[in-house]
Every structure is written in structure tokens, then in C-alpha cells.
Amino acid sequence: MKKIFLLLVGLAFKQRRSSILCVLLAPAAGAGVLCVSAVNSLAQDAKIPETPENIEAGRKIYQESCIFCHGEKGKGEGHIADYLWPRPRDFTAATFKLRTTASGEVPFDSDLFQTITNGIPGTAMPEWGSLLSEKERWQVIHYIKTFAQGDYDEPPAKANLGKKIGASKEIINEGKILYALMKCWQCHGKEGRGDGPSAYDLKDEWGFIIPPADLTQGWKYRGGSRVEDIYTRFSTGMSGTPMPDFTDAAIFLNREGYQNLTPFEPVYTEEELQEIKTYIETLPTLEELGGFSEEKKAELSNRRRWALAHYIRSLITVEGPNGDVVIKSEEVEGDLPMDPDNPLWEKAKPLIVPLTGQVITKPRWQIPTVQTIFVRALHNDQEIAFLVEWSDPSQDTLHEGSDWPSVGQTSTVDTETEDTYPLLSRRENPAGSRRDALSIQFPTKIPVGPQKPYFFWGEKGNPVNLWHWKSDWQVDLERETPIEKFLAKGFRQWPEPEPPESQNVEGSGIWRKGQWRVILKRSLTTEEKEIQFEKGAFIPIAFQAWDGSNGEVGYRMSLSSWVYLLLPKAKSLRVYFNTLLGVILAVGFESWLVRRVRRKKN
Amino acid sequence: MKLQKNIPLVLFVFAVNSLVMGCGGKEEPSTQGAESEGKKETTTSEATSPVDMATAATINGKVLFEGTTPKMKKIDMAAEVTCQQMYPEGPRTENVLVNENGTLRNVFVYVKEGLGDMEFPTPKESVLLDQKGCRYYPHVIGIQAGQPLKIRNSDPVAHNIHPKPKNSKSFNISQPVQGMETTKKFSKPEIMVPVSCDIHSWMSAYVAVLDHPYHSTTGTEGTFELKSLPPGEYVIEAWHEEYGSQTQTIQVGEGETKEINFTFKPET
């Protein structure tokens, strides 16, 4: 069972590829036609008939491939459902996030086909497109629909999906204002990091905690991150979740509706509000709106939804983990920047490191906040600094108790602790009682060959160091550094702090608009028995993160596997020597030439 | 010259306009507001109604509360200042509202059984569910299956309307603009359809969907009235969100008016 679980989780972290079906059909459907709708019009109904034979074939496929998560009765209560988050879909409700049908409607068969084919990014649902034939996928759809028999009797109403409007600077700017006016920030946060004022209380229709999407992390958009996907999501809503349908709202924008801008004031600056007000002036009045034809209203709604989609697309800064595993440190002259806003950091390309919940030891943790971090490194001839950035909707800078939950019992870990994944509401877990934290993990020496310490806090005889940055130390002005160095000899015991004289990691971090940006710095070489940053070597490096207000402490954390740090070797001196020689010769020749010319003149 | 002559006319039109608009704007949503609309339904005087008005009966009465009035929990509305400002004494939940006269508010009273196969026309006029001060008005509302439910956002904040019906199709729509109205229907009877706003977790309303017009929600007086009933024997149910439901069986003759009372008490 564990193997299946790991396989599924592994699959889930694969990046979503664009739908082959879509690519194939789009040219056939002609220019200007939405890819999504093209698929719909051609394949709203299953390609193979809903016969008892096909349903039976679907049942067999379901029992081989789907039952572990979705359960025998389709209620989303399979054997490993409790270990997954988000939880597997309950098919008996016929409620699906990813549809091209109107809000509250069941999906088209083709919508289910898309989901099964492409999988759902950021969840355990893999891409079955490469695992099941097209026929098998249709068969399994016929079977899945039997779990909610009556619900599919009536054909669903199609969502109001209009003609695509291309990206332009102008439309993205309009989208930015619409993001404000449609109050997307209420849940998704002003910068889109899922840190809006209503972000913490959200539950799905089954009562499970559901945080709003971090819109900067496109590779985790459940329905895909193409602009068409984004457009479809708020044109249909995501059934079963708090995400509503915005089609009508996009029609209804009017001047009178925005007379009171008080709700915007805590979020938007004076300058931004001015921009918003200017836009409101361009909106129709209620009376004008009443006079618009249905056609005109549909056109308005469509344009605004595309504008919003293009803007949200623009919030995705990096495409996502791309298989790279090497942080390439860049060499700089002079002091290393300790301010994350310093433009020097631009010089270093960030590595995107995926993190998952810690599920190796109890208490396991399946709902971590920090699932992706961006890491950059810079070094000079003396030191190396890392800039680590991650989305965290809340800044938690208080910490009750000790570093690890039960330092009193450092030798063994309480294995009796409940082995479930409690779905905590952030409100139930008062923000501030636990800190935010980050660990950078290094082996104590550069490993010879492929033998690295165990990725989770090393092992006996093969320990690791943790550079543990703590948000409560960050705000404690009496501390010289917010970072404490630990030695870990395996996850079965808590890491132990290194003696004060060995504490040599400096750092600083700031939290702004749903994001932590933390810098950690150390000398390239030290006298300690710890990692020495040799140039040209691939140095294993791993990360762990905690979000205090999500109840994360101790083993409740997210962690990465090993990636590598590389400080490129300086180019050989000969290169510099030849260049220098060239320059000297050129200068010498020129001055000789100048002198000669002058002498001749004289 | 021409323009000057027209000024009084323009002014007049403007005045009439603003008068009309002013009235519309001032419409105070309250539990009463929807009750009045509710009353419209109960007078099923339409030609298609199967009820003979000459012999129609009425059942009315009160819903009483017995025991200590529970104190309602405070709602933390700090995130929505514009809503919070509307509650000088601080907003509290509305699960149990006991009136000054000892009656219980927001009890939904309706005919549960007794109408047999009678079919009633679906009213065309809509029932209003308003959102004001980050609350629903009314908190408990009754409609007929297929009858339009007009949902309005009177707040300058965003709401999403997310009912969770079991029998009818659900929906989840955004109303980010003040004054926005959306009309929706529930196709099948259901007691009760919970309505919530994901943005404001404290917001809650209940929509009762019936296949007939005989329902009434208790207001500040704690009374209810089921008018225009054909004579017969009925099971009347009173539903309250905290205290569950109670039923009483009652017989009404031609043109008769009978009074029944319900009493709810908190479990001790």
C-alpha cells in the first residue's frame, strides 16, 4: 500500500503537461476558437456508448486503478484517502471542481475525460492519459457516473464561455483593477499568495479545510495554468469549494456599486485607490447598464473575465519545478547583500525546490503550508549567502515552549502519537503560538561518491547540520543572529544545538505580503567539523519549513529531498593572463603609434 | 430659449426620478420585508389555485419560548469594518432570538402533511434574500419549488452565495458589487437548504423549499399564520435551527380559523 501511495504522490508532483487532446483538436476547430470549448463541442458526450458492457469494463478499471483512493462505493473513502490531502473526490455527490458547465451543474463527460487524462496538479491525482487508453478512460467515466445515478439524467447547462481575447499590457492592467473590484484578494490576497483576510476559514462542502490557491504558483493550479484554464475556472466556479462563479459579477460592475470604497482601504494604497477610482468612472451607471443588450452584457463579461485571467496568469512568476536540482552560486565582488531587495540577488538564478509534508514518522503531516521554496546563492572569496523565499500567508513570530515539541524526551520519539492528519482550522490554532521556521540542511562533509546521509535529518554515523532560522529570533533584537545551528543524527531523535562557539551562521529575514524572504550566510571555510564550501563540488543541500499558524512544529513540517549546491570553479588563471597580455600589447602598440605620429608632426 | 423653457420640465422629471429612486433605495430589508412578500404567496387567490376561497380556513398561533434565554456568541467582524459598524453593541449570532414577549423568532411553520395530491401554481413573484451588514435578511425564508429567489447584496463588501441543497442543484456565485442581484431557483422541496457565504463564515440563512404556499416564519411578535387552507386535517410542523422541529395535527372546517401554539425549550 505504501508503494502505491508513494507512486501517486510522486506522480502528483510531476508537472502538468498541456493536454494532447487539446493540442490536436484546436487546429481542427479553426482559428479564434477556445481550445477548451473546442474540446467540448466535439466531445461533450462520451466517445463510446454507455452500454452495460462498457460500464462493466469501467468497473474493472476502477477496481484496479481508482479504488485505493476513491473507495469501493466511490465516496472518496479508499484505504489511503486519510493519507491524502486534498482528499480524493467523492463521486456520489457528482460535484466537480473542473467543469465547463455552469455553476452547480454536473460536468460534461468531456470534463471528466480531461481531468482523468491530465490529472490534477498539486494533488495525488495522476495523469491517467499515459496509463489508460482513451477507450478505458471513457469506460471508467461511465462507471464513475453510476455512483450518482440520477444526477446525470438531465444534461448540464454549458457555462458561458466566450471568444478568447489575447494578452496585452492594457488588458493585464485592466485585469489588475478587476482583481481589486471583484475582490479576488478577499481570499487570494492582494499579491495572490493565498493570504487574503478570508483565507483561513475556508472549508469545502465536505467540511475539510481548503486554503485558497496561491496564484503565484501556477504549477499547482488544480485546473491548469493556461490562461484558458484560469478563464474557465472563474466562469464556472469550482463546485464543492468556496470559489464562486464570476460570470454575472463581471456583467454587473457599475459606478453606483462602488461608491463606498472603505473595504479596499486596508488593502490598497492611496495611489492604487486613485487608479481604481479612475477606472470606476469609466464603468456604466446602473441605468446605462439596464439599457445594454444581452449581447453587449455578454461581451462585457467576457472581456472582463479574459482581462482577469490574463492578470492572474501574470502573477505566476516562475513556471514551477523543472527538474533542475542544482543551485548555482554566483560569485560577486565585495560584501554579500543581506537585504533581499538588493539587486545583486537578481544575478543568481533561483532553484525551485518542492517540499512535501513529513510522512515518515509520527505525527505525520499531510497539509503543510510551504510546498515550494525558491533558493538563490551568492558567494565572494570569503562567504556564501543563501536567499530563501516562500509563500506563507501569515507572519508568526511568537513561540511557546522549546525548539522541538518535547525536548525533554530527546532520546526517543513518541511513536504513540496519533497517526492521523488533523485538518486544523487556522482560527482554531491561534496564530502566534508557534513560530515560522526554516532549516537548511548540509551533510557534515562533502560525501564521497553517491553516499549521502538520509535526506530527513541524516542518520547515525552520517549526521547533518541544520541551519535553523526562527522567526521569533528574527524579531528578537537582543539576538545577534536569527539562526541556530543544530546537529542531527537521524529523525528518531531531536536535533541538538551546536555549542555557542560553533554558532557561525548569520542571517536575516523579512515577511511582506504573504512571503518570507530569508538570508543565511556563513564563511566558505571554517575550523569546525562541518561542510566546507569547496568550489567545483556538488554539495548536497536540503530544506525543511514550518508554518506556525498552521500548527506546524516538530515533525509537523514540510521537507525536501536532497538537491545540490555548486560554486563554479574560477576560470583558470591562464584565461585572465592571456586577456591581460592582449590588453597590454594593444595599449603598448597604440601608445607607440600615437607617439610616432606626434613625433612625425613635430 | 428652448432649453430654458424646458427647465421646469426637466426638473420635474428629475424630481420624480429621484423620488422613485430614493424610495427604492430606502427599502429597508428586514425580516418583515420578506414576510410581506411571503404573505403575498399565502393569499393564493390566483385563478389557477385549486383552493375554493369561499370555504378556505386559517391556522394561526404563536411560538413560545420557555427557559433561560441563551446568550448568543459574539461574531468577530473586525475584518469587515463596514459591516461591523452597523452593530453598535457588537454583532452576535442569530441562532436563538427570543422576543420581548417571550416568543421565539425565526421559527418556520408550515403544512407538512394533509394537502394530498393538490398541486399549486408556482408563484412568479420573487422572494428576496438580502445581504446587509454581513448578515442575511431574512434569516429563515420559505419559497415554493421553482419560485424565483432574488438574492441581493446591499453591502459594499463581496459576498458569495453558496447554498447546499441536497435535492436541488446547488450553485456558488460571487456578488462583489454593492446592489448586485441574482435570481435563482430551487427545483425540489427540501427542509432546509442551508445558505452560507464562504468569505464570511458567520453568515448563515435557511431556505425552506415547499411544493405549496402554506408557510410562515415567526418575526418579532413570534406569530405565524397559514391562510387560505382548504378545510381538512393537517400536520403542522414548526422548525427551529437550534431546537429542531415539532409537529401538531389539527383539523380545520370550512371558513374556520384555529389557533395552535408551539413551545420550544432548550434541552437541559
**pLDDT on residue B86:** 94
Tell me the shortest Cα–Cα distance from B150 to chain A, in angstroms.
14
**pLDDT on residue B25:** 34
Say if B182 is an interface residue toward chain A (CB within 8 Å): yes
Q: Domain for residue A306, yes or no?
A: yes
**pLDDT on residue B26:** 34
Say if B193 is an interface residue toward chain A (CB within 8 Å): no
Query: What percent of chain B shows pLDDT beyond 90?
Result: 78
The number of angstroms, rounded, from the C-alpha of A233 to the middle of its chain's C-alpha atoms is: 18
**pLDDT on residue A591:** 84
Higher pLDDT, A368 or B179: B179
| Signed CA dihedral, A251, A253, A256, A262: sign only | positive
Contacts of A555 (CB under 8 A, 6+ apart): A358, A361, A362, A363, A364, A365, A405, A413, A491
pLDDT of A224 higher than 90: yes
Kindly state the average pLDDT of the residues A154-175: 96
Greatest Cα pair distance in chain B: 81
Same domain, A456 and A562: yes
DSSP state of A117: H
Q: Which of these, A133, A128, A148, lies nearest to A54 by C-alpha position?
A: A133
Grid cell digits, residue A1: 500500500
Average pLDDT value over all residues in chain A: 86
Tell me the shortest Cα–Cα distance from A175 to chain B, in angstroms.
15
Kindly state the average pLDDT of the residues A577-594: 81
pLDDT of A374 higher than 60: yes
Supply the DSSP string of A542-569, one letter for each residue: EEEEE-GGGT--TTSSEE---EEEE-PP
**pLDDT on residue A18:** 34
Amino acid at A22: C
Average pLDDT value over all residues in chain B: 86
Over residues B108-130, the pLDDT tens digits come to 999 999 999 999 999 999 999 99
Q: Which of these, A312, A320, A150, lies nearest to A235 by C-alpha position?
A: A312
Gap between the Cα atoms of A105 and A94, Å rounded: 9
Q: Domain for residue A321, yes or no?
A: no
pLDDT of B56 higher than 60: yes
Higher pLDDT, A421 or A355: A355
pLDDT band per the 50, 70, 90 thresholds, residue A40: very low
Q: Domain for residue A49, yes or no?
A: yes
Kindly state the average pLDDT of the residues A531-558: 92
pLDDT of A426 higher than 70: no
Interface contact B176-A103, CB threshold 8 A: no
For residue B132, CA distances in Å to A440, A445, A585, B218 come to 50, 64, 83, 20
Interface contact A244-B173, CB threshold 8 A: yes
Q: Which CATH number fits domain B30-264: 2.60.40.420, 1.10.10.10, 3.40.50.11030, 3.90.950.20?
A: 2.60.40.420
Kindly state the average pLDDT of the residues B178-203: 96
- 10 Å Cβ neighbour count for A560? 22
First vs last C-alpha separation in chain B: 81
Query: Could you tell me which residues of chain A have a Cβ less than 8 Å from any Cβ in chain B?
Result: 95, 103-105, 181-183, 186-187, 197-198, 201-203, 205, 237, 239, 241-246, 248-249, 252-254, 256-263, 266, 286
Angle subtended by helix axes A35-43 and A20-29, to nearest 10: 90
Choice among A481-485, B31-35, B52-56 with the minimum mean pLDDT: B31-35
Residues of B in contact with A237 (CB under 8 A): 171-174
For residue A465, CA distances in Å to A231, A453, A490 come to 46, 11, 11
Gap between the Cα atoms of A120 and A112, Å rounded: 11
> What's A151's domain CATH number?
1.10.760.10
Q: Domain for residue A167, yes or no?
A: no
Phi, psi (deg, nearest 5) at residue A142: -60, -40
> What's A360's domain CATH number?
2.60.40.1190
pLDDT of A215 higher than 50: yes
Kindly state the average pLDDT of the residues A229-248: 96
Q: Is residue B212 within 8 Å of B118, Cβ to Cβ?
A: yes
pLDDT of A250 higher than 80: yes
Kindly state the average pLDDT of the residues B184-213: 96
Query: What percent of chain A shows pLDDT beyond 90?
Result: 66
Same domain, A341 and A452: yes
Interface contact B199-A242, CB threshold 8 A: yes
Say if B244 is an interface residue toward chain A (CB within 8 Å): no
Say if B80 is an interface residue toward chain A (CB within 8 Å): yes
Say if B32 is an interface residue toward chain A (CB within 8 Å): no
Q: Domain for residue A511, yes or no?
A: yes
Q: Domain for residue A166, yes or no?
A: no
Same domain, A510 and A440: yes
Over residues A77-100, the pLDDT tens digits come to 998 887 777 889 999 999 999 999
Over residues B173-186, the pLDDT tens digits come to 999 999 999 999 99
**pLDDT on residue B255:** 94
Greatest Cα pair distance in chain A: 108
User: A174 — alpha (psi -120 to 50), left (phi > 0) or beta?
Assistant: alpha
Tell me the shortest Cα–Cα distance from B131 to chain A, in angstroms.
14
**pLDDT on residue A45:** 54
**Structural domain that includes position A472:** 326-570
Say if B187 is an interface residue toward chain A (CB within 8 Å): no
Same domain, A472 and A384: yes
**pLDDT on residue B54:** 87
Q: Is the peptide bond before B72 cis (omega within 30 degrees of 0)?
A: no
Query: What percent of chain A shows pLDDT beyond 70?
Result: 86
Same domain, A21 and A46: yes
Nearest-Cα residue of chain A relative to residue B166 = A93
**pLDDT on residue A136:** 96
Same domain, A552 and A583: no
Q: Which of these, A291, A342, A289, A495, lies nearest to A407 by C-alpha position?
A: A495
Interface contact B180-A257, CB threshold 8 A: yes
Over residues A106-140, the pLDDT tens digits come to 999 999 999 999 999 988 899 999 999 999 999 99
Q: Domain for residue A320, yes or no?
A: no
Same domain, A563 and A581: no
Kindly state the average pLDDT of the residues A290-300: 95
Residues of A in contact with B134 (CB under 8 A): none
Query: Angle at CA A196, nearest 5°, toward A192 and A198?
Result: 140
Same domain, A340 and A363: yes
Same domain, A508 and A601: no
Q: Is residue A262 within 8 Å of A333, Cβ to Cβ?
A: no
Same domain, A275 and A136: no
Same domain, A565 and A582: no
Higher pLDDT, A427 or B239: B239
Contacts of A570 (CB under 8 A, 6+ apart): A331, A535
pLDDT of A571 higher than 70: no
**pLDDT on residue A573:** 63
Interface contact A181-B162, CB threshold 8 A: no
Contacts of A156 (CB under 8 A, 6+ apart): A99, A101, A102, A105, A106, A107, A108
Same domain, A485 and A600: no
pLDDT band per the 50, 70, 90 thresholds, residue A37: very low
pLDDT band per the 50, 70, 90 thresholds, residue A230: very high
| Candidates A95, A181, A243; nearest CB to B176 | A181
Say if B188 is an interface residue toward chain A (CB within 8 Å): no
Q: Domain for residue A440, yes or no?
A: yes
CB-defined contacts A:B, below 8 A: 100
Say if B161 is an interface residue toward chain A (CB within 8 Å): yes
